[in-house]
Chain A
Amino acid sequence: GQNIDQPTEMTATEGAIVQINCTYQTSGFNGLFWYQQHAGEAPTFLSYNVLDGLEEKGRFSSFLSRSKGYSYLLLKELQMKDSASYLCAVMDSNYQLIWGAGTKLIIKP
C-alpha cells in the first residue's frame, strides 16, 4: 500500500529552526510536495522536490532522498505566522498526489 508518515504535532520557539520529517512508500515517484495550510484555508504550495538534495527558498528549505524515501522541510527564523499545518504529498506513478496527515506546527513566543 501507499503510505506517507509525518509527525502529528511539533512545537518550536519564535526565531528558532524546526525540521519536519516525512517518510513515504508509494507506487512510483514523480516528486514530493510540501504545502502549508492554515486552519480553515486551502493548502498553499511551498516546495517541490523530484531530485535528491536540498532546495532552498528563503526561510524554507526542503530536502529529498529518494533512496531512503525521506524528505524534510526546514523552517528557519520562525515567525508566529508560521503556525500552521504542513502537509507532505507524493506524486505517484499515475501523477496523483498521495497526502500525509499533516504536521501541526505550534510556534511559541
Chain B
Amino acid sequence: GDSVTQMEGPVTLSEEAFLTINCTYTATGYPSLFWYVQYPGEGLQLLLKATKADDKGSNKGFEATYRKETTSFHLEKGSVQVSDSAVYFCALSRDDKIIFGKGTRLHILP
C-alpha cells in the first residue's frame, strides 16, 4: 500500500543553518504531496503542497520539489529560525485520505 517515510528526529540545528528533512513515498499513480507543521501545543497546519511531478511548493522560506524519478519530496530551508522549531509531517493524498509520515521534530538553537 501507499506509504510515506521521513527521516527520524529529533533534528537539532543552530539558527541560520540550512535545513533538509528527507521524505520519500511509495504510491501508485501521482498523488499530491504535502508538508504539514505542528507547532508546540497546536494542531497541524498545511505548510506547502505540490500536486504534480516537478512542481515546487513554497511557503515561509520553506521549499519542496515533487521528484517523481526519486519518489521524494524533501523539505528545505536556507536559514532556519528559532520559531521554526516544530514537528514536520510529510504526507500524500490517496482516495480522499491523507497518509502521513511519522513526523520529524526540529529544534533550532539560538
Whether A and B are associated in the same complex: the answer reads no
Interface residues, chain B, with chain A CB atoms under 8 Å away = none
